[in-house]
Amino acid sequence: ELFDFIAKELARFIATEGEGFFLPPGSKRELGFTFSFPVKQLSIASGTLIRWTKGFSIADAVDKDVVVELTKALDRQGIDLRVAALVNDTIGTLAGGRYFNNDVAAAVILGTGTNVAYIERAHAIPKWHGLLPKSGEM
């Protein structure tokens, strides 16, 4: 029901956006999905819900891929969106800030939980074993 509710609200929003929102047939708009609950991230756009927090309790969603569940709900609403990235609220806030102003260096969430994310020099991240980004930052 939660993912169906989200999809219905997205459908309502899209309906207010007019023709400029729609792409040619065969093309898909991309959606950033901020999900503020513990997930085991399987890829940039895939994550399995570990458990609910913050007073939520929807047993049949635990151990399911939240992107798959949202995608199925979007399909039921006839919404042609593809989840491009699954992030937590702090990373979503940091990415949004950096999109508008490259000088943004950190994001802080103070709400039902508290979290912070910041930009770091890629070579200073010991767990990173991939290619370094051109910017040198992560």
The full set of domains in the chain, from first to last, is: 2-87 (3.30.420.40), 89-138 (no CATH)
Q: pTM of the prediction?
A: 0.81
Structure-block tokens of residue 94: 């940091």
64-108 pLDDT, tens digit per residue, is 999 999 999 999 998 888 999 999 999 999 999 999 999 999 999
- b/e map 21-50, b = 16+ CB within 10 Å: eeeeeeeeeebebebbbebeeeeebebbbe
Higher pLDDT, 1 or 105: 105
Position 138 scores a pLDDT of 81
What distance in Å separates the CA atoms of residue 122 and residue 119, rounded to the nearest whole number? 9
Q: Where does residue 70 rank: exposed (0-12), middle (13-18), buried (19+ CB within 10 A)?
A: buried
What distance in Å separates the CA atoms of residue 49 and residue 54, rounded to the nearest whole number? 14
Position 83 scores a pLDDT of 95
**Which amino acid makes up residue 86?**
L
Q: Are strands 46-49 and 39-43 parallel, antiparallel or unpaired?
A: antiparallel
pLDDT at 128 over 70: yes
42-71 pLDDT, tens digit per residue, is 999 999 999 998 888 888 889 999 999 999
Higher pLDDT, 15 or 51: 51
